[in-house]
Structures are given as C-alpha cells and as structure tokens.
Amino acid sequence: MLEGKTGLIFGIANKRSIAWAIAQAVAQAGARLAVTYQNERLERKVRELVGQLERPLILPCDVTRDDELDAVFEAVGREFGGLDFLVHSIAYAPREDLEGDFVQTTRAGFGIAHEVSVYSLIGMARRALPLMETRGGGSIVTMTYLGGERAVPNYNVMGVAKAALESTVRYLAYYLGPRGIRVNAISAGPIKTLAAAGVSGFSRMLGMYAQLAPLRRNTDPSEVADTALFLCSSLSRGITGEVIHVDGGYHIVGMPDIDQMAAWRDKDAPE
C-alpha cells in the first residue's frame, strides 16, 4: 500500500507507544521512515526499536524548539527529496495539572499542554508543506482522545488541548486541502502508553472501557495503527478534516446499562 512512499513519525518513546505501532504498520506496507526521539534519555530505546526497520532516518527533536523542527525537516528533505505522510503522536501536560480540580489549572500548565500537544502540529504541517507539494500532496495524521469531546475525570487540561487539536485538524484540512494535503485525527480508546501513566485512575478506566464499549474489550494499538495506515494511504484519498474513533464504539454510548455498571463495580470492589 505504501511502496515507494516516505513518512515522518513523531512520538515514539518505547515499544508501547502508539507511534511505534504505526511505524511498524506503515513500514510493513512498504514505506521508508524518518522518526524522532525527544531527548538523550529516550534515544537508546528509540534506536533499538527502529533499528528493526529498513534504513530508518533517526533524528533528535524537541518540538518546543523551532531550530530542532527546522533541522528535522531539512534532513528529511535532503534524504527523501519529499514527504508523503506525517504522523503526529505527541501530547504532554504537567502531572499536577492532570490531577485534582480543573479550576486549579495553572497558566504555565495550560500553555505547556497547548504548545506541545497542539501548536507542534501546526509547526510540523508548515514545514511539511513544501516537501509534500513536491510529491503532489500528502497525508497528516494526529492522535486525539474522547476527552477532547467530553469531560473525562483526571484528563483535565489535556482534554482542553485535545479539543483545540481537533479544531486545528479542521482548519489545517481547510487551508491545506487545495494543495492536495489531507489532515485527519484518530481518537483512540485508552491504551497503556508512557503518556497514559500520568492520568490518575487509568487502570480503572481501562476496566470500565472493556465493560461498556460495544465490542466489550479495550483498544489494541494495532487497531489504531491499521487506521493510521489507511489514512496515510491512497485508500483514504477522499477523507480530510475527520476525527475517526478507534475505541470499540465506546464514544457512541449515551448511558450504560445500570445492571452492567453494578456488576462492574461489584467485580472491581475491594474485598
């Protein structure tokens, strides 16, 4: 599906990263990849993982630094000559702003969450534009979560950032569409990743999803990766500005079955 295509993936931290699942899927489909690592602490893990891929381009990037973003896209341009798809799988907020009462969100925490989780997509899209235009267009995919649509306990400022991210997807899709570039988001169910570790009560959230989602199970990273593969390929050539839910159908449930909830609480209750 992606034979002869090139892609750039941001957000691999370890083997549980959604970005890593996506990298494996698109590489298996024939794409050659460039990937980034955030800092020296994560470099070794990222290099060990992507070393399994064919001729990967591995680059450092702190997405809050314009000079490092510039360096990444310049390197991709030199090595690949253009870019067919971009995957943005990055989100961050200070742990203290993911706990307690949302009204206590700090100014600094609000700014950090939006700079890393939202503005980074705009910065990447701007730099990807000329590289994708040389290929006649391209695809940009980002990751969101239901907390951007509904209030989710302990998701707090990250939920507000995800709402901004989804709006950003629509605006980028509108302005980049005439240039042949599509922009979409995947709203995945909760998955055990490094970022998820900062959300209080995440294990209970996983249990609830498995009980209440119509498919009665949690989301597997491979399911998200397959959707990303679809969005990066020509099979999705008529789709842009969308948020596609890959959450076992959890987002469609208006009110859970009362008996089902009671059974879940009894099962989860301490002895």
Tell me which residues are annotated as active site.
145, 155
Strands (E), 54-194: 57-60, 85-88, 138-144, 181-188
Angle CA(268)–CA(202)–CA(149) in degrees, nearest 5? 115
- Give the SS3 label for residue 220: coil
- Give the SS3 label for residue 37: strand
CA–CA separation, 231 and 239 (whole Å): 8
Q: Is 42 left (phi over 0), alpha (psi -120 to 50) or beta?
A: alpha
User: Which residue has tokens 């203290």?
Assistant: 96
Q: Which two tokens stand for residue 225?
A: 């990766």
CA–CA separation, 56 and 23 (whole Å): 10
Q: Minimal CA–CA distance to 71: which of 115, 36, 112?
A: 36
